[in-house]
Amino acid sequence: MKMHLLAVLTVLLLVLTACSTAEEEPATETTEENSVTIEGTNGEVTLDAPAEKVVALEWTYAEDLLAVGVQPAGMADIVEYGNYVNIEPQLDDSVVDVGGRQEPNLEAIAGLEPDLIIGVDFRHTAMLEELERIAPTVIFNPYPEDESIDLYQEMETTFLEIAKAVDKTPEAEQVLADLEEEYEKSAAEIEAADLKTRDSILTLAYTGPQAPEIRVFTPNSMASIIMERIGLNNVHQPDQFEIFGSSTFNVEGLTKYENANYLYTVPDEDNIYENQLSGNAVWENLTFVEEGRTYDLGPDTWLYGGPLSAETLMNQITDVMVGNE
């Protein structure tokens, strides 16, 4: 009798073990099915599921989230972002400011309990271990050293990786497709405009240590590629590869491009054209100044952003050039 009871108990134990295993296996499979792997300069980062709470430590990556309909849980340097980045949609009031882009507040980030942190190579690689203690962290480099990769390509690649992380790949692909259509429309407007020349340079100016400094964007820069997409010709050819997509000139250096159109953005609080260059003989005798071919794109023109900033820049260039004809 005891032997019979022992045999029954053994069979029941085996059945329960088999049922338990059968119940556990689908859960494992489900986790694997929902996982998502993204790749940055710090290698592959795998999440158990698409991220729902994301902290963006660089403006462009917050913009990338907004472009696919996702509000970041936290973001660095929100006030300054609002001064430079001119896009829709706007950030929600619920988005938490987690400190400066250079030195984010780790306690504030941890308090949000994010699923993912997104950082930029030249600011956040040094603190990667600290960030990874809080949440999975992916780092991107917007300025690749590989000369074969232009900065527009890098923008698109990173945008699609971030979209994958939040399970929004179809939305991201649609954003890029819509942007291509907008380029075609703007190109048609530029084509129809009675421009004296389509040769152009695109610049960002500010006060340097000794004198006004002017960044002239190179052909591999995102801003220049946008300009080319709508039918303008960037005539600036740098003497060397410029990893950040721009060469720095003083006003005398602009004489080599005086027959081109001069597109520029400058902060209101540091307007070198109204201040240091007002009455400057070199500046006022440049052909594009004398002929009125200087085009102010406005102070809130972000030349280093994602697809939404690309569309804003395209519209600003088109509006100011076609509207002035």
Residue 323, pLDDT score: 78
Lowest mean pLDDT across 56-65, 172-181, 270-279: 270-279
Residue 214, pLDDT score: 95
21-33 burial: b if 16+ Cβ within 10 Å, else e: eeeeeeeeeeeee
Residue 325, pLDDT score: 54
Residue 77, pLDDT score: 93
Does residue 256 have a pLDDT over 70? yes
- Angle (nearest 5°) at CA 37 between 36 and 41: 150
Does residue 270 have a pLDDT over 70? yes
Q: What is the pLDDT of residues 77-109, one digit of tens each?
A: 998 898 888 898 899 999 999 999 989 999 999
User: Which comes out higher in pLDDT, residue 191 or 18?
Assistant: 191
Q: List the beta bridge partners of residue 199.
A: 233
Residue 85, pLDDT score: 87
Residue 11, pLDDT score: 46
What mean pLDDT comes out for the span 58-84? Answer: 94
Q: Categorize the per-residue pLDDT at 2 as very low, low, confident or very high, splitting at 50, 70 and 90.
A: very low
Q: What is the 3-class SS of the chain, one letter each residue?
A: CHHHHHHHHHHHHHHHHHHHHHHHHHHHHHHHHHCEEEEECCEEEEECCCCCCEEECCHHHHHHHHHCCCCCCEECCHHHHHHHCCCCCCCCCCCEECECCCCECHHHHHHCCCCEEEEEHHHHHHHHHHHHHHCCEEEECCCCCCCCCCHHHHHHHHHHHHHHHCCCHHHHHHHHHHHHHHHHHHHHHHHHCCCCCCEEEEEEEEECCCCEEEEEECCCCHHHHHHHHCCCEECCCCCCCCCCCEEEECHHHHHHHCCCEEEEECCHHHCCCCCCCCCCHHHHCCHHHHCCCEEECCCCCCCCCCHHHHHHHHHHHHHHHHHCC
- Angle (nearest 5°) at CA 16 between 14 and 19: 110
Does residue 308 have a pLDDT over 80? yes
Does residue 210 have a pLDDT over 50? yes
Name the pTM for this structure: 0.86
Cβ–Cβ < 8 Å for 74, 110: no
Gap between the Cα atoms of 160 and 151, Å rounded: 14
Does residue 157 have a pLDDT over 60? yes
What mean pLDDT comes out for the span 19-36? Answer: 58
Gap between the Cα atoms of 131 and 124, Å rounded: 9
Cβ–Cβ < 8 Å for 246, 218: yes
The rounded Cα 123 to chain-centroid distance in angstroms is: 14
Q: At residue 305, what are phi and psi to the nearest 5 degrees?
A: -95, -155
What mean pLDDT comes out for the span 198-223? Answer: 93
- Closest C-alpha among 57, 41, 58, 96 to residue 302: 58
Neighbours of 223 (CB within 10 A): 30
Q: What is the mean pLDDT of the chain?
A: 89
What mean pLDDT comes out for the span 273-288? Answer: 93
On the CB side of 259, CA atoms within 13 Å amount to: 3
Q: What is the 3-class SS of 205-223, one letter each residue?
A: EEECCCCEEEEEECCCCHH
Residue 208, pLDDT score: 86
Does residue 15 have a pLDDT over 50? no
In this structure, which amino acid lies at residue 218? T
Residue for token pair 């994602």 = 306
Residue 32, pLDDT score: 67
Domains along the sequence of the chain with CATH: 36-167 (3.40.50.1980), 175-323 (3.40.50.1980)
Percent of the chain with pLDDT over 70: 90
Q: Categorize the per-residue pLDDT at 4 as very low, low, confident or very high, splitting at 50, 70 and 90.
A: low
Q: What is the pLDDT of residues 213-237, one digit of tens each?
A: 999 999 999 999 999 999 999 999 9
Neighbours of 282 (CB within 10 A): 14
Gap between the Cα atoms of 279 and 277, Å rounded: 6
Gap between the Cα atoms of 112 and 54, Å rounded: 9
Tokens standing for 103? 């030195």
Does residue 206 have a pLDDT over 80? yes
Q: Categorize the per-residue pLDDT at 27 as very low, low, confident or very high, splitting at 50, 70 and 90.
A: very low
End-to-end CA distance of the chain: 104
Does residue 22 have a pLDDT over 80? no
